[in-house]
Structure 1
Amino acid sequence: MAGYTRASALGPITDFVEARGGSIGRIFRRVDLPLALLDNPDLPLPLSEQFKVLSEAGRDIGDPYFGAALGQLVSMNKLSAFGAWVSSAPTLAGAIDRSARGLNRFLQTETVLRFRISGTKARWSIEFLDPGRDGRFQNELLGVSYLIDGVRHFAGSGWSPSLIRSTCVGAAQAAELEKIFRAPVRHGARASAVEFDVGLLAATGRMKERPDFGSEPPIAPDFGLREEVAMLSSIALLEGHPKIDWVARKLSMSRRSLQRALDAESCSFSTVLDGLIKDRAMVLLRSGNRSLTDIALQLGYSDGAHFSRAFRRWTGMAPSQYRARSQRIHA
């Protein structure tokens, strides 16, 4: 089953790529995603698309271990509201428990976190179940980096794992990763994992505030096609009117197959899109004083008149009437 993550899981990828002579714009064009996605970190993103971004980024700057190198800059507590919630646990043991309970609901689906204790050693692993292949290894390197930072948040900035288990192949790759992680790496693992002394489970974190986690919208563990189309269309909407052919490609379907599958769920692409654009239009009308023409263009309409007709069809009122009413209610 395909998994979803949030765009925030890519971490500080823009600065990292540009500092090494790459082009984040070129990378996103090659994977056919809007660059504006990086300015909307809470938007759901297909996990396979994140794999592709990491893979293309590695190729762009010529780094076969791009995920590990980027991972040296990631921070668990900046990983959307989920990361802040995990990092605010009173102890490392509590953070690991929160991660297991909240990951698939609030950050990333089709991803399994496991924790086990053997003697004096603790092992925390991450495994991706999404069938995507291109870039999977880079994502595994990034994933284990988040685990390392999660432990380091409680153990102290100078802490290093006693062992990293990696899915890399052979001693040569493990040796290269040891240089990046500055810790022993064992190759050939089924799932990436970090090992540390069990005594660290009682270590306390630096973050004392308790973030509000209730406002973060969950990512459902099982999506119907309608929800997947809506989420992908939300990404496309960042750069204009979503196109069914683009959505179909991202779902590895033909246009006709997508239409038939939506028919089976008693809806259509235009129905999904109408609901999405209506909701976005209402947010834009309530949140500022941008002109109706600017809003229309952002939503993919050729002019304000086309947008106004569509909005009147959805709500029974003109956009200007809706804005005025919203302002009176919140005055």
Structure 2
Amino acid sequence: MLNPAPSIRIRAFLPIAPYLAQRGVSAIEFCDRLGISPNVFQNADGWLPRAQCFHMANELAKVAADPFAGAHVGFMTELRDLGVWGQSVLAARDVAAACALATVNVPTIHRGSEVRFMTEGKTARIVFRFADRYEFDPRQFIFGSLAVLRKVPLMAGEPSAIRVRLTASRMLGNAALEECLGSNIETGCDHDMIEFDRELLDLPLKTAGTRPSKATEALASAVEAAKMLSERLSDGHALGLETVARTLGMSARSLQRRLKFCGVDFEELLDDTRRSEAIRLICEGVHSMTDIALRVGYSDSAHFTRAFKRWTGVAPSRFRTDRK
């Protein structure tokens, strides 16, 4: 049986939105920079090619002017938000079982990476590495992965007993990295790993309460709003903030606040969703312009044509001709 192509669950990248928002960068503008639609994040259980993930992580560091962007995103990521992998870890009876489950279930979140759990003497280790070649610099993704993996033994409640080993050389601004990986960091090592005192393995997990965090609620609302917009574009102008918020069971103010936390403006999200869907339908080559206009929420083709020129710089008919 052939191994699946290296890829990573989309849900691992959802915290990018609030990370960018904290730095005054629009998540939608960031997606435009990468040449992808924000709608790709609607299916959190989908997969992105690993090369695209590494490219995304590197661009994130550039646009945020943050050499440790990956670590900050990993630090913001909650285990409960990482699907089957995170849920299995949180359900473990003690730290030893949590570490073992983190290793066994890693294919549910990563393809093309390897996580090993081992003990030697008085030391336990969670070693992270890529199982095959990679196309782009993986450093930011390594930072993020270690920031997440560190949370597994951290549930023992003994941060001073946990150390982080990095293959990366020492860099300026390591103090910023300590915010995400703790103060016990060693660089220039043979492997990227989380190392901790073996005595932590027998300790029960100290997990937070079951109430979702502010980040979790905001991300869930943003994803649901984007999904709803995509599914109901043909509703046109009736598909406003009030309507979406009411359908999601909250006030318009609450939805707006949660979207803002993720660096997303509702009207901008609606506009981008229309653009992406219009381009997709035009590329199919089987729909009339009037039909496409109605499908993406415009009452007539004239309004649609003006919007399409604003999006792409050309009329939809010209766009279709150029694609042939």
The one-letter code of the counterpart of 1:155 is: A
Matched with 2:54 is 51
Matched with 1:6 is 9
Does the Cα contact within 8 Å between 1:4 and 1:108 map onto a contact in 2?
yes
Matched with 1:32 is 35
The change in CA–CA distance for 1:28 and 1:298 in structure 2 (over 3 A counts) is closer
The change in CA–CA distance for 1:160 and 1:4 in structure 2 (over 3 A counts) is farther
Matched with 2:121 is 119
In structure 2, the residue corresponding to 1:72 is in which secondary structure? Answer: helix
Matched with 1:70 is 73
Distance 2:37 2:181 in 1: 31
| Mapped pair 1:155 → 2:163 | no
Distance 1:13 1:123 in 2: 28
In structure 2, the residue corresponding to 1:170 is in which secondary structure? Answer: coil
- Greater Cα offset, 71-80 or 142-151: 71-80
Identity of aligned residues (%): 23
How do residues 75-224 of structure 1 correspond to structure 2 at under 5 angstroms? 75-104=78-107, 106-152=108-154, 154-156=155-157, 159-160=159-160, 162-170=162-170, 172=172, 174=174, 176-206=176-206
The gaps in structure 1 that reach 5 residues or longer are 210-237, 240-295, 308-331
The one-letter code of the counterpart of 1:31 is: L
Does the Cα contact within 8 Å between 2:150 and 2:181 map onto a contact in 1?
no
Measured after TM superposition, the shift of residue 13 of structure 1 is: 1.1
Per-residue Cα deviation, 1:31-72 (whole angstroms, up to 9, x for no partner): 222211222211111122111111111100100110112222
Measured after TM superposition, the shift of residue 6 of structure 1 is: 0.5
Does the Cα contact within 8 Å between 2:153 and 2:162 map onto a contact in 1?
no
The change in CA–CA distance for 1:207 and 1:174 in structure 2 (over 3 A counts) is closer
Per-residue Cα deviation, 1:235-273 (whole angstroms, up to 9, x for no partner): xxx89xxxxxxxxxxxxxxxxxxxxxxxxxxxxxxxxxx
The one-letter code of the counterpart of 1:67 is: G
Distance 2:43 2:126 in 1: 29
- Greater Cα offset, 90-99 or 123-132: 123-132
In structure 1, the residue corresponding to 2:119 is in which secondary structure? Answer: strand
The one-letter code of the counterpart of 1:188 is: G
Distance 2:118 2:172 in 1: 28
Distance 1:30 1:305 in 2: 30
The change in CA–CA distance for 1:173 and 1:188 in structure 2 (over 3 A counts) is farther
The change in CA–CA distance for 1:203 and 1:77 in structure 2 (over 3 A counts) is farther
The one-letter code of the counterpart of 1:169 is: S
The one-letter code of the counterpart of 1:85 is: S
The change in CA–CA distance for 1:113 and 1:176 in structure 2 (over 3 A counts) is same
Distance 1:37 1:129 in 2: 26
The one-letter code of the counterpart of 2:118 is: R
Query: Could you tell me the TM-score, scaled by structure 1's length?
Result: 0.59
The one-letter code of the counterpart of 2:37 is: P
Does the Cα contact within 8 Å between 1:163 and 1:194 map onto a contact in 2?
yes
Measured after TM superposition, the shift of residue 3 of structure 1 is: 0.7
The change in CA–CA distance for 1:66 and 1:135 in structure 2 (over 3 A counts) is farther
Does the Cα contact within 8 Å between 1:53 and 1:135 map onto a contact in 2?
no
Does the Cα contact within 8 Å between 2:159 and 2:182 map onto a contact in 1?
no
Distance 1:170 1:72 in 2: 20
Q: CA RMSD in A?
A: 3.1
Matched with 1:270 is none
Per-residue Cα deviation, 1:271-299 (whole angstroms, up to 9, x for no partner): xxxxxxxxxxxxxxxxxxxxxxxxx9797
The one-letter code of the counterpart of 1:79 is: L
The change in CA–CA distance for 1:75 and 1:304 in structure 2 (over 3 A counts) is same
The change in CA–CA distance for 1:136 and 1:107 in structure 2 (over 3 A counts) is same
Does the Cα contact within 8 Å between 1:148 and 1:194 map onto a contact in 2?
yes
The one-letter code of the counterpart of 2:82 is: L
Per-residue Cα deviation, 1:294-323 (whole angstroms, up to 9, x for no partner): xx979735369999xxxxxxxxxxxxxxxx
The gaps in structure 2 that reach 5 residues or longer are 210-229, 232-276, 293-324
Does the Cα contact within 8 Å between 1:161 and 1:183 map onto a contact in 2?
no
In structure 2, the residue corresponding to 1:164 is in which secondary structure? Answer: strand
In structure 1, the residue corresponding to 2:44 is in which secondary structure? Answer: coil
Aligned length: 220
